[in-house]
Amino acid sequence: MSEALRKEIKSALNKVSQAFDGLGDFTTFSALSLATIIKKPSAGTMIPICFRVGVQSVPVVAITGMFIGMVMAIQVYSQFQSLGMATQIGQIINISVIKELGPVLAATMLAGRIGSSMAAELATMRVTEQVDALICLGVNPLHYLVLPRVLACVLLIPILTVLANFMGVFGGSVVCTEIFKVDPYHYWQNSRGHIQVWDLSVGLIKPIFFGAAISLISCHRGMNSRAGAEGVGKAATSAFVWSFMSILVLDFFLALLFNNLHQAIWPDNSIKTFGPK
Amino acid sequence: MDSSSSNPNFLSLQNVGMAFNGVDILRNINFNIPKGQTLVVIGESGCGKTVLLKLLISLLQASTGKVLFDGQDWCALDEKRTNEQRLRFGFLFQGAALFDSLTVFDNVAFGLRAHSKCDEKEIEKLVLMRVKEVGMKESVLGKKPAELSGGMKKRIGLARALILKPEVMLYDEPTTGLDPIMTDVINDLILQTRKNMPVTSIVVTHEMRTVHKVADRVIMFYPLSRLKPNEPQLIFDGTTDELFKTPDLRVQQFIHGEAKERTLESENHEHRDEVS
């Protein structure tokens, strides 16, 4: 084996080893952060974070959700129209928005808006020794800084996803009924009949995992930032990149899990829907 | 002021070494700090002074050796006990490290809210007292740290560090980046703190005026990169008077702020110039 090849293999093995180290470090960080839940975080720390994560994200999530629905309607209408099924268009828009597009795109927007800001904030605190100051004052930074952010994301991202879903359904219906002049009665009647309780549940459970992933990854990146402006910038960027990738990976595995669960619970596919069967 | 008789080994470093990513920063450091003493640590940037402060309060764990506080090895303490011991310290960070998202009042009150059973009225009274002690006006209490000047930040950082009445105060370059008048104000505050409460102080500085004004004892570190493998890193340990009289050229070079390394030859030239 040549020396160059040996070096390449060694470097590749080092990278793999580093990746496992990083994964182990992230797992430990997450476990330690979640373990601090035994002591309730104070309202003084929770409220401002909830305000930033929840209230201040409303416009972004609402606009994202609405445009997802509107774009879906435009893309799907011509195909359904050519098949003479324009009144069925609501089904496809609503099911796509509620099960996949709403949760995933809302989470992606929030990873960019909240995740990057969390990572930058914590990274700045790290490099300006504010995290050290917290430790010197006898306060666990994981409990004071990380836990409230994780809780805020886990609790509020599902609620924001409901808003994104609602706005998506609304946006799609406006385009179909007002622009493409689809009969509203048939549009809603057909839509209603194809949304199942299961679909709504899946659309609400996924964001809990997305919220946990966004907050833990972003806080981990921030708390382990390198010194200087470059370190803070890198922490914010990598927080978004890793959060986004984890949303997609989680979405795949959760979709697989929920599909298998659905098959196991209702093998004959007879589950309750909101509308006529 | 030297009350070293009460506990000569209040803080103790035994064969302490510290390395980051395989690069040695501190090597085989041994010294004790008696209770009540004001120790000033000097040395070039990057020689491990701040690392030393962080080892003393267990923000970092030594790679080798032991750091003892009040007879107890930090490494032997569990998390709860470590936190309790840390509360006996106050730390004035280089950039003050005030919490950006909190007001000055909340910054100073932080330790009290986290660890005391004082009600808000008492907290307000204590915060006001500390803020006045460091020479700041009540009007700054509602401001955010970003609205303060460097000197004001340092003073608020000091008020925050003192609010829990620490037994040991660690000052990391308290006068760096300040004008000469503010430097003197901070030096006076270090002296005043020592007068008001029986505190052991460790001051890391480059400022020779601070050394003159506050030190009971001075130690000097030398960067490991410029030492031979067996040379000690602690190149001076003595009083301020001894510091200025020491024949060690490395110490003289530092206290006179000379970029060029002193040699015996240059010393003789200087001596001849002085005589002529």
Judge whether residue B66 has pLDDT over 90.
yes
Q: Which of A134, A136, A139 lies nearest to residue B89, judging by beta carbons?
A: A136
Evaluate whether B15 touches B67 at the Cβ level (below 8 Å): no
End-to-end CA distance of chain A: 67
Question: Cα(A250)–Cα(A255) distance, rounded to whole angstroms?
Answer: 8
Quick one: what percent of chain B has pLDDT higher than 70? 91
Q: For chain B, give every domain's residue range.
A: 95-165, 246-276
pLDDT tens, position by position, B244-272 = 888 888 888 888 877 666 555 555 555 55
Quick one: what percent of chain B has pLDDT higher than 90? 50
Token representation of residue B154: 């340092």
User: A interface mutation test: which of B58, B78, B94, B100 has the most A CBs within 10 A?
Assistant: B100
Question: Cα(A57)–Cα(A111) distance, rounded to whole angstroms?
Answer: 11
pLDDT tens, position by position, A13-69 = 999 998 899 899 999 999 999 999 998 898 988 999 999 999 999 999 999 999 999
pLDDT tens, position by position, B7-41 = 778 999 999 999 988 888 999 999 999 999 999 99
Q: Do B114 and A139 touch (CB under 8 A)?
A: yes
Token representation of residue B193: 């703190």
CA distance B34 to chain A (A): 21
CA distance A204 to chain B (A): 32
Judge whether residue B236 has pLDDT over 50.
yes
Model confidence, pTM: 0.85
Within 8 A by CB and 6+ apart from A114, the residues are A52, A53, A57, A153, A214, A215, A218
Mode of pairing for the β-strands spanning B234-238 and B217-221: antiparallel
Token representation of residue A75: 């893309």
